[in-house]
Structure 1
Amino acid sequence: MTSLRSRSYLESMAGLSAVVTGGSRGLGLLLAEHLLMRGCAVTIAARNEEELGRARKFLTHARSGARVHCVPCDVTDRASVTSLMAEAAEAHDGVDVVIANAGVIQVAPLESLDADAFRSTLDTIYLGALHTSLEALPWLRRSPNGGRLALIGSVGGLLAVPHLLPYSCAKAAVAALAEGLHAELRGQGVSVTAVHPGLMRTGSHLAAEFGGDQAAEFAWFSALAGAPLVSMDARRAADRIVTAVERRRTRIVLTPMAKAAALAHGVAPALTTRLSALMAGLLPSAPDRAEGGGGLHEGRDITPGPDGARHTMAWRLRDWCGALNDRAARRLNQRPHRAQGGG
C-alpha cells in the first residue's frame, strides 16, 4: 500500500469535504476561501450566526457554484462539535479535511489577569482543538483517501510571549496535542499538521481583548500585528497553510521572525527567556491596583482617551503601522473599530 507520505504530492483535494472552525472571519475565513479554490466543499463553523451569514456571502460572491455550509457551533461544548461534524458530513457526503482554527486572544500583564482569564482561553483554544480533533477522527478515518487534520497553534505556543500568557499556555497545549496525535495516529490513514504562525495581518486586533493599560496594550499589539516587516499577509499565510495540509506536512512555522524565535528558543531557551523578560520591561505596566484594572475589553471598543494618549510613541506606531491590519479587518469580516465610525 502507498504510504500517506509518498502519496502527498500526488493528491488533489478537489471534491473533498472540509470543515473549518472559527471560519467566519480572519484567518479562518481565508482558510475556507483557499479550500474552495482547491475544489473542496466547505463547512464553516463559528458562534456568531450573523458573522457566518456575512462569511458565506464573502465566500460565494467571487466563486460561482462554491459549496459553502454554515453551522453555528461553540467549540468549548463537545456536544456542539459532535453536531457540527454530523451536519457537515450530511451536507457534503462525509468529512475529509478538518482545520481547528477557533481561538481568542487576551493581551494584558499578569497583574491584570485572574485564573478565569486563563481558563476561558484554554477552553476555547485547547479544549476547542481537542473537541474538534476527537469528534473529527471517526469521520476522517472513513475518508477514502485518508483524512487530513490541522491544528492552528502559534509561535506563542513554542515560546511564551509577555502579556500574552493565557494565549501562550493554551497554544503550547495545542502544539503538544498536534504532536501527540501525529504519533498516535501513525498508520491509521489520517495525517496531522501542526501550524505555528507568527503575527499575521488578519484584523484580529479588533476582536482581541485587552487589559491593564488597555489603550497602550492595544496600541503596541495592533502596531506589531500590522507592521509589514514583522507580520505576514493573511491571504499568503492561508495559502501556505492549506498547501501544507494538502501535502500532509507534519509541521509548519510561518514568518521568518517566528522561525528564528522558535529556533533560538530551542537552541538557547535560557537566553530567550531572559530576552523575553527584558521585552516585558518595555511593555505597558499594569495600572495601580487602587485604580482598578478595568477588566478586559475588545480592541474595537478601545480609544486613546482624552488624555493625549494618541501622542504617545505606541499610538504613533499604531497609526503608522496599523493601516494594513485595519484594511484586513474590513476585508475579513471583523467588525469595525467604533472610534473609526464603521466601514
Structure 2
Amino acid sequence: MAAAASATERWVRTGEVELCVAEWGDRTQPTVLLVHGYPDSKEVWSQVAEQLADRFHVVAYDVRGCGRSTAPSPLRGGYTLERLTDDFLAVVDAVSPDRPVHLVGHDWGSVQAWEFVTVSRTEGRIASFTSMSGPSLDHFGHWIKQRTRRPGPRRVGQLLGQGAKSWYVYALHTPRLPEAAWRGPLGKRWPRLLERLEGIPAGDYPTASLPRDGAHGAWLYRDNVRRRLLHPRTDPFAHAPVQLITPIGDAFLSERLYDDLDQWVPQLTRRTIAAKHWVPRTRPDQLAAWIGEFVSTIEASGRSSVRTGSPKPYADRFGGQLVLVTGAASGIGRATAFAFAEAGARVIAVDRDTEGATRTAELARLIGAPQSWAETVDVADEAAMEKLADKVTSEYGVVDVLVNNAGIGLAGSFLDTTTEDWRRVLDVNLWGVIHGCRAFGRRMAERGQGGHIVNTASAAAFQPSRALPAYSTSKAAVLMLSECLRAELAGQGIGVSAICPGIVNTNITATTRFTGVTEEEQKRRQEKSSRLYGKRNYPPEKVAEAVLRAVARNQAVVPVTPEARGARLLGRISPKALRGLARINPPM
C-alpha cells in the first residue's frame, strides 16, 4: 500500500480463516473501518487511509480469500453474509473492543456492510456507516419486487436499465468461467482496463494477488445474490446513521436503486459525486473530506443525532464538490456562487475585482460553503487563466463544475463600433469562455471522472438586434461553442450547458459602453438602462437557480426569463418575425 510505511499489520482469526488487518494513526482516536469491494484488496483504500490517519484510527482488512487473508475451505458456502459478519465482528473486537467503529464500504465492501448495519447482533458496535457503490441486497430485493408487482413504464425502464448494468453478475454465476478468466487473460489485463476506463493509474493497486482475489470473490455473488434478491429480509433497517455517496457515472449501479432508501434508514445523509465506480482510487480527497466530516459530526453529537436527508436544495448533488465561478464579484456570478455555497459546495470566486471576489468568498462561507476562496484574474488573459488552473488544481483539486460567467456589455451600431471595441468585447465574452473551457475542461477530461461546464450566453445569442451587434455576436459564439463542446465532451462524462438570460437586474447596465456618443450621453444612457432593468427587477438569484438545475439535469440550452424563452420560441416558429423585431431601435 502507498501508506504501508506508516501502517502496522496484524492477523485476526475468525473460524478457519485468518484476516490480514492494517492500522494507521492514533488508536485512542475514533476508529474508521474501511471494507473493500470486488475484485479489490485493502490496497484500494490506501490513499483514503493516508488522508484520514492524521485525525482517526484507520483500519482496513483483506476480506477472506483476498490479498493476504486466507480463504475458507471449501469455497462454496464460505462467503455468505453471515460468515462475513463474523469476520467483521472479529476485526472490531480486535481493533476497537471498547468503542463502536465508523464503518465505510465500497462495492462489495458496502454490500456486506449493509448487512452489518442492519442485523441485531452488531447493534452498539457501529457508530456510523458510509456507503458507496454497493446496495443492500435486501433493499435491492424489495426494490425489484415493488417494480415487478406494479410494472408501470417508468418502473419497467428502471428494471431493464439496472438489468443491463448488472451483466457481470450473470457471468459470475457461471461455473468455472470466472476463475479461468481471472487466472488467465482478465487477471493480466485488469490494471490496464481500469486505467483506460476509469483513469486509475496502476501504481501499487491492484496487487499481485488480483487473479486469486477475483477467482475467490466470485463466491460472494454465488453465495448471496440469488438467495437475497429472491427472499430479502423483511427487517433490514439501519441501526446507525448512514451517509450514502453515489457516483453519478457508475457503470454498474443505477442511481434509481436508492430511491426508496429513506424507508430503511431513519438517519440518512445523501451525497453524489461526479465520478465513476472506483471512487476510492479516483477521488480519495473528496471521500476523505466527507468521511471525516461525517465522523466528526457524529462524534461531536455524542452519536445521539446526525443531520438527515438533504436540508437544502441540491445538497445531495453538489455537497462538497469544487465549483469555480468567474465574474463572481457581483450580479449573476455572485448569486451563482451563493447558490452553490448553499448546496454545500466548495466555491472559488474569480473576478478582476479583488475586493468583490473576496467579499463573495466570505459570504459564501457564511451561507454554507464548507470552504471558499477568492482569486483575481482577467479571463481575457490566456496565460493568467492557465496559471490559475494550475494553482486551483494543485491547491484545491480538479474543478467539478466550471461556470464561465464573466462578461461585459457593449451597445451601439456596427458602423460606430471600433476594432478596439470589438476586440475587447470578444476578448472577455468569447475568449474568456474559451480560456476557461480549455484550461479547466482539459483537467476535467484528464481526471476521467466527468464534470460540468456552464457558459453564460444571453437571450441576445438568438435574438438579433441593431443596437447590440458586437455583444450579440459574442454571445451567439458562446452558445455555439457550448453546443460543440457538449458534443465533444459527452463521451467523457462532461456536460456542457449554455445559460441564456434575458433582462436581469445586475450592474452590467451601469458598466455597458455605448459607442458613437459623447461621454455625457454615454453616462445618461447607462443610468437610463439601469433604471429600466431595475423596473423589470428580475433577480439574478433566479438565473443562479437555473444554473444549478441545468447542471443537475445536464440541460443543453437554458433560456432564462420570459423574454428569453419567447425569443427562442419565436426564432424557431417564425424567424422572419424575429428579424423584424431586430430592426426596432430601442429608445435611448
TM-score normalised by L of structure 1: 0.74
By relative contact order (CA 8 Å, sep 6+), the higher-ranking structure is 1
Check if 1:178 corresponds to 2:482: yes
Q: Which residue of 1 aligns with 2:371?
A: 67
Q: Distance in 1 between matches of 2:250 and 2:353?
A: 36
| Aligned counterpart for 2:496 among listed residues 163, 174, 192 | 192
Rounded to whole Å, the distance in 2 between the matches of 1:35 and 1:172 is 26
What's the offset of the Cα at 1:33? 0.7
Give yes or no for the alignment of 1:157 onto 2:487: no
Cα RMSD after superposing both structures: 2.5
- Structure 2 stretches of 5 or more lacking a match? 1-164, 166-247, 260-270, 273-316
Identical-residue share of aligned pairs (%): 25
Determine if contact 2:322/2:346 at 8 Å carries over to the other structure. yes
Residue in 1 that maps onto 2:423: 119
1:128–1:227 Cα change, 3 Å: same
1:143–1:233 Cα change, 3 Å: farther
Match of 1:255 in 2: 561
Contact 2:329–2:350, Cα closer than 8 Å, also in 1? yes
Do the aligned residues in 2 keep the contact of 1:153 with 1:175 (CA within 8 Å)? Answer: yes
Residue pair 1:96, 1:139 contacting (<8 A) in 2 also: no
Matched residue type, 1:257: E
Change (3 A) 1:95 1:169: same
Aligned counterpart, 1:104: 408
Q: Mean alpha-carbon deviation: is it higher for 105-114 or for 119-128?
A: 105-114
Q: Which amino acid aligns with 1:275?
A: L
Q: Confirm or deny: 8 A CA contact 1:41 1:92 kept in the other structure.
A: no
Gap change, CA 1:64 and 1:253, over 3 Å in 2: closer
Q: 1:257-336 maps to which residues of 2 (within 5 A)? A: 257-277=563-583, 279-280=584-585, 282-284=586-588
The one-letter code sitting in structure 2 at the alignment partner of 1:31 is T
What amino acid sits opposite 2:497 in the alignment?
A: T
1:51 to 325, 333, 356: 356
Q: Which residue of 2 aligns with 1:148?
A: 452
TM-superposition CA deviations, 1:244-291 (whole Å, max 9, x none): 1122222211011111111112222222212221x21x534xxxxxxx
Q: Summarize deviations over 1:122-174 as a string: whole Å, max 9, x none.
A: 11010110110011122222557521111110010112223222110100100
Are the aligned partners of 1:97 and 1:140 in contact in 2 as well (CA < 8 Å)?
A: no
Match of residue 324, structure 2, among 4, 19, 42: 19
Could you state the TM-score of these two structures normalised by the residue count of structure 2?
0.44
Choose the corresponding residue for 2:532, options 215, 219, 224: 224
**2:548 aligned residue:** 242
Shift of 1:220: 4.5
**What amino acid is aligned across from residue 319 of structure 2 in structure 1?**
A
Corresponding position of 2:392: 88
Q: How has the CA–CA distance of structure 1 residues 64 and 36 changed in structure 2, closer, same or farther, with 3 Å as cutoff?
A: closer
Q: Map Cα deviations across residues 37-81 of structure 1 (whole Å, 9 max, x no partner).
A: 111111111112222223333333x33664111111111111111
Aligned counterparts of 1:186 and 1:7: Cα–Cα separation in 2: 19
1:31 corresponds in structure 2 to: 336
Conserved 8 A contact 2:400-2:452: yes
Equivalent position amino acid for 1:268 in 2? S
Following the alignment from structure 1 to structure 2, what is the Cα–Cα distance between the partners of residues 126 and 227?
Answer: 29
Counterparts in 2 of 1:64 and 1:15: CA distance versus 1, 3 Å: closer
* 8 Å contact kept, 1:19–1:88: no
Alpha-carbon shift at residue 3 of structure 1 (Å): 6.1
| Contact map agreement 2:412 2:514 (CA 8 A) in 1 | yes
Cα 1:77/1:7, change in 2 over 3 Å: farther
Distance in 2 (CA, whole Å) between partners of 1:246 and 1:144 is: 19
Q: Which amino acid in the other structure matches residue 529 of structure 2?
A: F
Instruction: State how far apart, in whole Å, the 2-side matches of 1:143 and 1:15 are.
Output: 17
Q: CA 1:143–1:18 in 2, change beyond 3 Å: closer, same or farther?
A: farther
Paired with 2:326 and 2:570, the residues of 1 have a C-alpha distance of: 31
Report Cα offsets for 1:182-215 as digits up to 9, x if no partner: 1111211111111111111123222222342425
